[in-house]
Amino acid sequence: MSKEEIDKGLLATVAREVIFENRLRNIVSADEEPRLAEDPFTKDMGVRNLMCIPVHDAKNEIIGACLMLNKQLRNFTELDLDRVQSFAVFCGLGIYNAAAYERKVKLMAKQTVALEVLSYHATAPEEEVQQIMARAIPEAEEVKLNTWEFDDLPLSDMETIQCTLRIFVDTGISSSFKIPFDVLCRWALSVKKNYRPVLYHNWRHAFNVVQTMFCIITVGGLKAYFTDLDILALLTACISHDLDHRGTNNAFQTKSNTALAQLYGTSVLEKHHFNHCVMILQSPGNNIFGALNAEEYRHAIKMVEHNIISTDLALYFKKRDSFKQLVAYPDTDWSSGPAKELLSGMLMTACDLGAITKPWDIQQQVADLVAQEFFEQGDLEQQKFGAPTAPMFDRSKYPELPKMQVGFIDFICTPLYKAFSDFAPGLKPLYDGCATNRDMWNKTPVWDKNSAGHPPENRRISQDSGK
């Protein structure tokens, strides 16, 4: 008998009836179902009785039917029905789980392919790696890299990469962890490549953050508080802390219910920056953690995550008072545990906001860029929500930038840098720079596009070839 004949036969017909009508069938004889004796297939098989019940999956959707034939000695009973129904539940769950597993395997395969593609495109071109390797790394003194007054504006993007390499060399990190020079170059270039050309939260900002951390560790004298592994995690976190920033803040991501907000929930951007950081480290030829043993690697990744997440200002506000209390307590042990984690996190914030401590000609340009990026977010909020969510995002408030900067310094910056000035005398220049800029902003009544010392465009991320 052909498959087509079987499909048209009684057994298939009964199964379809059970599925479409969602009911069981218990046929005890040909008297009850004349088709039993008339159907060629059931007649050839000598089918005397049958029972058919629907099979449901975990969502209670019908996915098939269970058909039992020719019970010996007597017909199918209610007890048989209970047993077969239990078996059908097992079959339904098994089929559902098998299908779910197959879907999961396919999704994992798609994810693997996507990560491979992303990793390939996220990694710096090899020709750039060879170019940077062929150049001599400038001494820190040549570009004032080891000063609080450092200005990245005169440097090309490739020169900022060279300065990044100098930071890893002068802190002893590259030698301590035997980071191959080509891997260090490729990683630094790849990190730069993965910053978007937004107005402020771009590669230049990340580079300035890691430069500030370099000064804190060396000039500020805080190297004594950290192991080499700690410093590796701090530098990695600084330069990676805003990877793939979109020019909008966490509140905007949450209110817009973006994919990032749905994925992470809290500290949305910071968690994304960390995951992007790990993706780059795991890309071929970019693992500057390659010489670490398993325990060191786990610890380093954990610290990088903690440090990057700490740049969420919402967390800074929660921890600021605790930090000030520990600073005021003379016997605080900063060498391990929660105190050390808190110190690392607060240092990340101090570096992230470091532009507020720079000389006035640098500070006013950076403040203008931050304002312009905020205004672009405000424009998006105007389109999506009908109005900017706060005055700092309202473009019409641009003339009030000095007033907003004074408020920002008083509420956020001064308490932070005062605490660090009390913590370590070597960090007092950060507090002094912040106080000086507050005075300058306070003396500036209004602001316009010509107020900054240089056109703000000069500090936008460049796409130069390093010439």
Catalytic residue, candidates 56, 201, 241, 273:
201
Residues 280 and 190: beta-carbon distance below 8 Å: yes
From the list 408, 466, 434, 444, the residue with the least C-alpha distance to 134 is 466
Residue with tokens 């200002």: 313
Two structure tokens written together for 224: 């004594």
Residues 76 and 68: beta-carbon distance below 8 Å: yes
Three-state DSSP string of the chain? CCHHHHHHCHHHHHHHHHHHHCCCEEECCCCCCCHHHHCHHHHHHCCCCEEEEEEECCCCCEEEEEEEECCCCCCCCHHHHHHHHHHHHHHHHHHHHHHHHHHHHHHHHHHHHHHHHHHHHHCCCHHHHHHHHHCCCCCCCCCCCCCCCCCCCCCCHHHHHHHHHHHHHHCCHHHHCCCCHHHHHHHHHHHHHCCCCCCCCCHHHHHHHHHHHHHHHCCCCHHHHCCHHHHHHHHHHHHHCCCCCCCCCHHHHHHCCCHHHHHHCCCHHHHHHHHHHHHHHCCCCCCCCCCCCHHHHHHHHHHHHHHHHCCCHHHHHHHHHHHHHHHHCCCCCCCCHHHHHHHHHHHHHHHHCHHHHCCHHHHHHHHHHHHHHHHHHHHHHHHHHCCCCCHHHCHHHHHHHHHHHHHHHHHHHHHHHHHHHHHCHHHHHHHHHHHHHHHHHHCCCCCCCCCCCCCHHHHCCCCCCCC
Measured CA to CA, the distance from residue 140 to residue 210 in angstroms comes to: 14
Two structure tokens written together for 101: 């597993």
Please provide the distance, in angstroms rounded to a whole number, between the alpha carbons at the two ends of the chain. Answer: 80
For the question of residue 201 being annotated catalytic, the response is yes
Strand partners, 62: 56
Measured CA to CA, the distance from residue 71 to residue 77 in angstroms comes to: 10
Active site residues: 201
